[in-house]
Chain A
Amino acid sequence: MKNDYLKEKARKVRIEAIDMIYTAGSGHPGGSLGVADLLTYLYYNVLKTNASKPSWNGRDRFILSNGHVCPALYAVLAEKGFFKKDRLKTLRKMNGLQGHPERGSLPGIETSAGPLGLGLGISCGMALKAKMDGEKHHIYCMMSDGEQDEGVTWEAAMFAAKNKLDNLTAIIDRNKIQLSGPTEKIMPLENLKEKYEAFNWNVIEIKGHDFNEMKKIKTRKKGKPTLIIANTIPGKGVSFMEGKFEWHGKAPNKSERDQAIKELNKQ
């Protein structure tokens, strides 16, 4: 898909995400807006998926490890036709879309996620299975930068390198904030690229809102897992949310929601 098309899709995803979180009265707008471009690009230009056959074995697997940004994932899946868009308004309501993803509750959700650090290990298991059985699909795992604090992330990083899981691509949403402050203040991660390289990964850094740079997501290196460090701006697209850790996990009120939608409608 061309960049203009992707831009329009990502804009719609952002509007849906803001509306969902506003209607729910709680949720995580910062990360959801920050990953909207990446998720749009992945679902329109990278992942082999089939909305009418969501469990088709040849599909690429997309594991969302930082489950709290699920409003953006739900919006992209609805946009792609995995389920009807009217379900988006049920976010965080009884019998509706879960506040953190639940496998089996919606087509296209590969794993439940919420507690951080769970996704990379699961992705390793999936990638290893594909290798064992000679299957050609690829496994993509999105993580937050905050969840690099979790020790299990590094256990999985070692495992992926040991097993030469070159059918695994992890993507870190490097927005430099976490719940209670900047990542470099809460628990410094830098130099993140060198850390993963030391763990024997193939690491590529991209601008996380630049569709041209996202072409690099398909880069592979034989015998090594690949990490894409996608530098993003949390709250991207809504001026008063951009770069603010305070918007990590807070719903907008009515006037903030209206202001956000107004801004997004102009883009």
Chain B
Amino acid sequence: MINYEKLKASREGFGIGIVKAALENKNILALSADLSESLKLEEFKNRFPERYIEVGVAEQNLAAVGAGLALEGKIPFITSFASFSPSINWGQIRVSICYNNANVKIASSHAGITTGEDGATHQALEDIAITRVLPKMNVIVPADATEAEKATIETSKTKNPTYLRLGREKFPQVTEESEFRIGKANILKKGSDLTLIACGNMVFQALKASEILEKKGIEVEVINNHTIKPLDSKTILQSAKKTGTIFTVEEHQTAGGMGSAVAEAISGEGIHLEIIGVEDKFGQSGSASELLEKYGLSANKIVERIIKHKKLIQNV
């Protein structure tokens, strides 16, 4: 399940995926706001120089030009860091992309606390919230490079504005045996005691947590919820009805993110839910693993939260 041999960042999968997608469809373009190297666009640039557009450090115009190209039939992937796009250009995304229903793909790397040393300004922890509230927008958070590649290709085939959330840090692969379908969550591991729903890099942490818990006799069902919108409520509800308890975990503020999307979906169903994420704080500089520990997102911290909950239940 976890391939420790292959350490890769999801942004690397994006770089491969966009080349494969571009070979299939000549309308696919890549737009860069002076971060092409970080977004792993080198190969795209070399192979399709005439389909690579540099807009400079201008995220608002990045979104606006993308919208114009899309309204004319192109499929632009506008690329930057998640802390700049979709935030500095959110107004453009709302009106020029979503209200226009322009087929723009917003691919953003360096999402989450694992962005690490660059510090809080560069660790996007709010991007899922501000994209998933937009009508017509799809929101996809690939778990690893393998999934990012598939997600990029699948996303290029849809007509929806889409936010593709990517990470900087290399992690083991966890989706090599998974199929990828937009809007279809994947159950990576069956279990009956509780449902652990993760997205992005946190899928790896969730799987590790489930292995630790298994040794303690707690059977965890692990779901890779790569599509935040449209959310696969059916798979989530089915699992939750079986286990009665959901934990969600994401590299994002607990407010408005993936856990919130799950909360909206299960509201009124009588299911216990705990949302694990960054709790109304900015991050700080540090290594990815230190930060995961500090902000309560490492496998060990997830295990602690779940055991604490189990103890509470047993004491009732």
Contacts and interface: CB of A to CB of B under 8 A. Distances in A.
Interface of A: 102-104, 110-115, 117-118, 120-130, 132, 151-152, 155-156, 158-159
Contacts of B65: 121-122, 124-125, 128, 156, 159
Given A112-B96, A118-B95, A125 B58 contact: no
25 contacts: A103-B99, A104-B100, A110-B71, A112-B95, A113-B95, A114-B95, A115-B91, A117-B60, A118-B91, A121-B61, A121-B68, A121-B96, A124-B68, A125-B65, A125-B67, A125-B68, A125-B76, A127-B68, A129-B73, A129-B74, A152-B61, A155-B55, A156-B65, A158-B56, A159-B61
Interface residues of B, number: 27
Contacts of A158: 56, 58
Interface of B: 50, 53, 55-56, 58, 60-61, 63-74, 76, 91-92, 95-96, 99-101
Given A112-B99, A126-B71, A126-B72, A121 B91 contact: no
Contact of A130 (B58, B64, B70, B72): B72
B80 to A, nearest CB: 13
A102 B100 CA distance: 7
A124 B60 CA distance: 13
Contacts of A127: 68
Contacts of B61: 121, 124, 152, 155-156, 159
Given A110-B71, A129-B72, A103 B91 contact: no
Contact of B64 (A102, A112, A156): A156
Contacts of A128: 53, 65, 68-69
Given A124-B61, A159-B65, 8 more contacts: A103-B99, A110-B71, A118-B92, A125-B72, A126-B71, A128-B65, A152-B60, A158-B58
Contacts of A114: 95
A33 B66 CA distance: 32
Given A112-B95, A115-B91, A129 B68 contact: yes
Given A122-B71, A124-B68, A126-B72, A151 B60 contact: yes
B84 to A, nearest CB: 13
Given A128-B53, A128-B68, A129-B68, A111 B100 contact: yes
Nearest to B65: A125
